[in-house]
Copies of this chain bind each other. A is one copy, B any other.
């Protein structure tokens, strides 16, 4: 038995964040942090707490005309010599460093403080702290709720607290992986003319990738930038054998105006003449910034919304018909980096934005 970690949700945001970082919670090892979050939230009478696996849902039940979801995940990628947490001042900026600081315990700390403090928000709130966002979606706690208990996600609007530099990042791009395969004929490399080299043939696949001009797509005033890239290549049998297969693994990031089905058709055109196998694909999410709930949110938190280039779980809300945006602490480019951190100023900025929205 480990001693249960205790969380004081009334403590300073930096202290609470550092406590959260110092509870290891790599994906599939969220039991301790989920126990701590559940215990801390259950202490508040204004919250109705439900647990599903290591995913915690805490709801106000005030009968408000509007309900919003504010969600974040509890898990992190594996440790990379970035534990325990550290508070460091760099070039006039106070920062909290440590595994998950940016992705996304900064957002979780803010959200936990608000869940405890806002006993009578002007909108009913469903606070969600979920497991296993960083790994295959079969384990994802939000995916499981959407599939098995969608009533817990019912809302007029959702905010996912993924890192977004404390500004609203709207929608998300879709993502797809395909394998592009060339085939040849093996022979001994001392008699290469008796075979056909599949790796040489992959040169044309790489040429098409290099020559590809990705689109930029405008939606709701936001500019999405697409991308088409080899993310892996493999081929070869032995050092003395002409290889009979080469596989280029390609990742396509596409604007939310294009469906995954359309994206796949596009890739089959790009790689016409080659064997293309779809590995996985998920639709993006339209920004939905014209929705009244989104307009109110953007007005309350301020700043100019940006497009979200990466895929995030906001797409799960979109698929349920719930408009959703990303709004959280830290620079998304630092996610999964050894040196990830969160500026202390982001914690206050995001907390203030959400507080004013939920108090208006």
Contacts and interface: CB of A to CB of B under 8 A. Distances in A.
Interface stretch (A43-51, A239-247, A295-303, A322-330): A239-247
A229 B193 CA distance: 10
A225 interface: yes
B241 A231 contact: yes
Interface stretch (A10-18, A67-75, A111-119, A184-192): A184-192
Interface in A293-324: 309-311
Nearest to A249: B236
A231 B238 contact: yes
Contacts of A193: 225, 227
A243 B231 CA distance: 6
- One complex includes copies of this chain to the number of 2
B242 A199 contact: no
Interface string A173-207: 10101000000000111111110010111110011
A203 B209 contact: yes
A251 B189 contact: yes
A134 to B, nearest CB: 11
A232 B311 CA distance: 33
A222 interface: no
B206 A333 contact: no
A235 interface: yes
A253 B232 CA distance: 28
Interface in A210-246: 210, 214, 225, 227, 229-243, 246
A173 B249 CA distance: 36
Contact of A177 (B175, B235, B239): B239
A249 B238 CA distance: 10
A188 B333 contact: yes
A248 interface: yes
Nearest to A225: B193
Contacts of A206: 199-200, 202-203, 206
A209 B176 CA distance: 30
Contacts of A197: 209, 229-230
Contact of A191 (B199, B241, B251, B333): B333
The list of the 6 closest CB pairs from A to B, nearest first, reads: A232-B236, A203-B206, A190-B310, A192-B227, A199-B230, A190-B309
6 contacts: A192-B253, A194-B333, A199-B248, A202-B206, A231-B243, A233-B234
